[in-house]
Amino acid sequence: MNPREGQERTAPETGTPSGGRNGPSAGARWSTPPQETGRPDSRAPDRKESEVRRMLRAGPYPPVPPDLGGRAAARGRRLLLRHRLLHRTGALLALAALLTLLIWAGVEQPWRPPPARTTPPVAGY
């Protein structure tokens, strides 16, 4: 008989049975000894993990094109160049907008009061 069989697992920090506030859950008992899983202090793999492992062991693996790595690297280079181009274009547009604002402010001088609309009285006419 396995020494852990029938024993409740405990949380390492508290020493209390794991499984939440209401006590151990249905999966809180060891279903397989840890030596069989290859992991000394962990639970047995769940159904999904077992299914994935079975699929990975079963094969056959789908064929991969021999030039896949080169195509992926070329696509990465294209994306990087596109990113850099967009970044530089945005920076140039922002610089052009700032330059336009500075030229407009220098010509119009919007901080000055507007000229008076009435003409001064004419004397000596």
Q: Show the tokens assigned to 23.
A: 């006590």
Q: What's this model's pTM, rounded to 2 decimal places? A: 0.44
Q: Evaluate whether 4 touches 34 at the Cβ level (below 8 Å).
A: yes
Q: Evaluate whether 58 touches 38 at the Cβ level (below 8 Å).
A: no
Report percent pLDDT > 70 for the chain: 63
Kindly report, residue by residue over 72-104, the tens digit of the pLDDT. Answer: 999 999 999 999 999 999 999 999 999 999 999
pLDDT at residue 27 greater than cutoff 90? no
